[in-house]
Amino acid sequence: MTTSEVRAAGGDAETEHRIVGSRSRWHAMKPGNISLVYMYVAGFILFTVWVPHLWLSGVAQKSILNISFAVPAILAVGLMVPLLAGVFDLSISGTVDLSSVVLASLMIYSHVAAWLAILIVLAIGMLVGAINGILVAVVGIDSFIATLASSAILEALAVSLSGNIQVTGFKSGFAKFGSGNLIGGVQYQVLYVAVIALVIWYATEHTAPGRYLQATGENEDAARLSGIPTKRYIFISLMVSGLVAAFAGCVETAVIGAGESNLGDPYLLTAFAAAFLGATQFKQRFNVLGTLAGVWVLASGVEGVTLALHSYAWLNQLFFGAALIVAVGLGRVIEINNRRIAIRRRRGVLDQDMPGTVSVADRGAAAGDGPPPD
């Protein structure tokens, strides 16, 4: 029974509220809306049956959280900001590379204090984001091309500074910055994920600039005509992405205990796959919760298959590449379905608001397609 039918039958407001509420709950639980949750449950059951002694161990779950989830989640959440504004940032891997090498060089060769070296690296990340912002928002270069070129330059700088070798020699205490024990085997890097995600979630979901950022990504021309300074928000989004990527580089450098010029390469595909997969969840657009869920489900799937089949070097790339295709494809299917639903609703509203006209169903019946519904 629809809401209009309840009103026509003389139903009270409480009955109408229950019907609308049940529909909202069903919509929230639809597989198309939270498919990642169902995927994770199915995978958890599969690996519980397949390799229970490995999968159900606390070591495996902590490994996912600390190693497979934390740094990719930081990068993916930061990447989500420019994606929400409608632009790409392919330079995050190059920013991680340069951040790692600069941090190691400052601390090991120049004996700069850890906190000061981290601040310098974060400033470099913001500078990289600002340059990307100028290229995209001011000069007008396509974000895909501009940030891809930036990434190549950053990687070249990282190789040049490091001589294409690991920069090692950190003091033992620096490792605690990333892999120090927070509580119960959970490391500090997980805390960083929580803080960054919370800040970006609040900024994008509960502030006016966040709404302007969403409007920019949904339709830049319409947002600009309504008075939103879209170029400014694109510029800021790329700066945020650069800042977060630089911080991720600092964390991963502390975890592995060395500066590397190719540290960020494996994370680029992971971050994009998680962000696009998360965009199909919960809000049907890029959002923090969906992005985190995407990283967790993908990381869990890779870990489970690795435990079951034993480690294969090609597994990660295969898994995340397939996930990216599925995510983009699923997003396209949902978009087409939403358009169809919107068209049907508009037709229904027109039929109800214009009682003197013949409805779509009545026209079909008059043409011999069958009697109208009772």
In a domain, 282, yes or no: yes
- Among 53-57, 72-76, 103-107, where is mean pLDDT lowest? 53-57
* Residue 169 placed within a domain: yes
| 46-60, 173-187, 202-216, 325-339: least confident range | 325-339
Average pLDDT over residues 37-51: 90
Q: What are phi and psi of 187, to 5 degrees?
A: -90, 165
In a domain, 181, yes or no: yes
Give the pLDDT score at 32: 57
Domain membership of residue 327 (yes or no) is yes
Selected residue with higher pLDDT from 18 and 229: 229
pLDDT above 90 coverage of the chain, percent: 63
Taking only the tens place, the pLDDT of each residue in 172-216 is: 889 999 999 999 899 999 999 999 999 999 999 999 999 999 999
Mean pLDDT, to the nearest integer, of 72-87? 97
Torsion angle defined by CA atoms of residues 95, 99, 102 and 106, in that order, rounded to the nearest 10 degrees = 160
Using CA of residue 53, residue 56, residue 57, residue 60, what is the dihedral sign? positive
Residues 332-340, mean pLDDT to the nearest whole number: 76
pLDDT at residue 118, rounded to an integer: 97
In a domain, 50, yes or no: yes
State the Cα–Cα distance between residues 117 and 253, nearest whole angstrom: 12
pLDDT classification of 23: cutoffs 50, 70, 90: low
Ranking 34-48, 136-150, 347-361 by mean pLDDT, the lowest is: 347-361
The total number of structural domains that make up the chain: 1
In a domain, 7, yes or no: no
pLDDT (0 to 100) of residue 318 = 78
For residue 13, the model assigns a pLDDT of: 55
Higher pLDDT, 299 or 351: 299
- Judge whether 8 lies within some domain: no
Task: Give the distance from CA 367 to its chain's centroid.
Answer: 49
The answer as to whether 160 is a domain residue is yes
pLDDT at 1 over 60: no
Check if the beta carbon of residue 217 is closer than 8 Å to that of residue 85: yes
pLDDT tens-digit map of 223-256: 999 999 999 999 999 999 999 999 999 999 999 9
Check if the beta carbon of residue 267 is closer than 8 Å to that of residue 75. Answer: yes
What mean pLDDT comes out for the span 263-278? 91
Q: What is the CATH number of the domain that holds 138?
A: 1.10.3470
Residue 283's domain comprises 26-340
Q: What is the pLDDT of residue 53?
A: 92
Confidence of residue 361 (pLDDT cuts 50, 70, 90): very low
